[in-house]
Each structure stands twice: as C-alpha cells, then as structure tokens.
C-alpha cells in the first residue's frame, strides 16, 4: 500500500553536514519527497511534536536537543513507507542499530540519533498534519 510518513533530519545530523548523505540514502531507497521544510523549532513546537513522551525522564533533554539548531522536516511517500523508513533508519539507539542504517552511520547516542520517522499510520497522519497543510504536499 502506498503510504506517507514524516521524517526529521535532526539538529545533530544537520550540524555535522549530513543532510546530503541522509537525502541520498532516502532517494536510493526510492522514497518520493512530497514536502520539505527547513525549520528551527521553538521549545513549544518541539514539546508539541513529542507530547506523547512528555512524562518520560528524557523529555526535557530531548526538547533541548531538538531546538539546538535547524532541522529538515519531510513528508515521504512510497509503498510501505512507514516500516521501510524505520528499517532504513535502524534502531532508536545507534549502538543497537544494524550496520548500514542511517542511525548506525550518523547517530551518536539514543538521544542524538540523527533522524526521526513516524512509528505508525496514526502517528504519520498526526505528524504530517503538525508540520504541513494539504496544499504543501505535491
């Protein structure tokens, strides 16, 4: 089934000049880019995006990290986009991620893990709607 998912190239991957490497990995995996934005998240925007994690002990640090510099936010489309993106990203903790995955190659630790991807069709829908209007997806 053709699906849409949301991805964020996080501030660590942006500041280490890995936007190009991440994009070419995604293009090689045949994702179509339907929308792309360059954003420096505010604290409120990062808190809103990650509100499902608001009770977690790592939440304040995650919000600080996600606001430390700009990010690239994209809507990607392909067959099985949600599961495929998660396969290409690798496990949340780069130390546990399979060789050849984006997080294994570009991530630093469980927080500074280079890339975000939606984890279900409901979260993909919610996360896409958080950043993009229908008219912005082409």
Interface pattern 21-60 for ligand CMP (x via CB under 6 A)? --------------------------------x----x--
Nearer to ligand CMP, 47 or 138 (CB): 47
104 sits near ligand CMP (criterion: CB under 6 A) = no
Burial letters 3-15, b for 16+ CB under 10 A, else e: bbbbbbbbbbbbe
Q: 112: closest CA among 14, 2, 4, 12?
A: 12
Q: Site map for ligand CMP, 64-103, x if CB under 6 A? A: ----------------------------x-----------
Regarding 4 and contact with ligand CMP (CB under 6 A), the answer is: no
**Residue 119, helix vs strand vs coil:** coil
| Pairing of β 32-39 and β 2-9 | unpaired
Q: Assign residue 100 a region: left if phi > 0, alpha if psi is -120 to 50, beta otherwise?
A: left
Residue of the chain from 13, 14, 46, 62 that contacts ligand CMP (CB under 6 A): 62
In this structure, what DSSP letter does residue 87 have?
A: H
Which residue stretch of 24-32, 35-43, 111-119, 128-136 sits at the interface with ligand CMP (rule: CB under 6 A)? 111-119
Q: Would you call 40 a catalytic residue per the annotation?
A: no
Span from 11-19, 27-35, 110-118, 121-129 in contact with ligand CMP (CB under 6 A)? 110-118
The Cα 117–Cα 108 span in angstroms is 17
């Amino acid at each position: 089934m053709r699906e849409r998912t949301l991805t964020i190239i996080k501030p660590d991957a942006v500041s280490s000049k890995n936007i190009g490497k991440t994009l070419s990995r995604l293009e090689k995996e045949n994702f179509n880019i339907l929308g792309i934005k360059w954003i420096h998240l505010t604290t409120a925007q990062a808190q809103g995006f990650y509100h499902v994690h608001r009770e977690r002990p790592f939440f304040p640090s995650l919000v600080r990290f996600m606001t430390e510099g700009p990010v690239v936010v994209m809507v990607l489309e392909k067959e099985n986009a949600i599961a495929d993106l998660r396969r290409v990203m690798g496990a949340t903790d780069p130390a546990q991620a399979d060789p050849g995955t984006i997080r294994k190659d570009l991530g630093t630790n469980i927080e500074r893990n280079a890339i975000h991807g939606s984890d279900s069709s409901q979260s993909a829908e919610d996360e896409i709607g958080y950043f993009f209007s229908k008219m912005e997806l082409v």
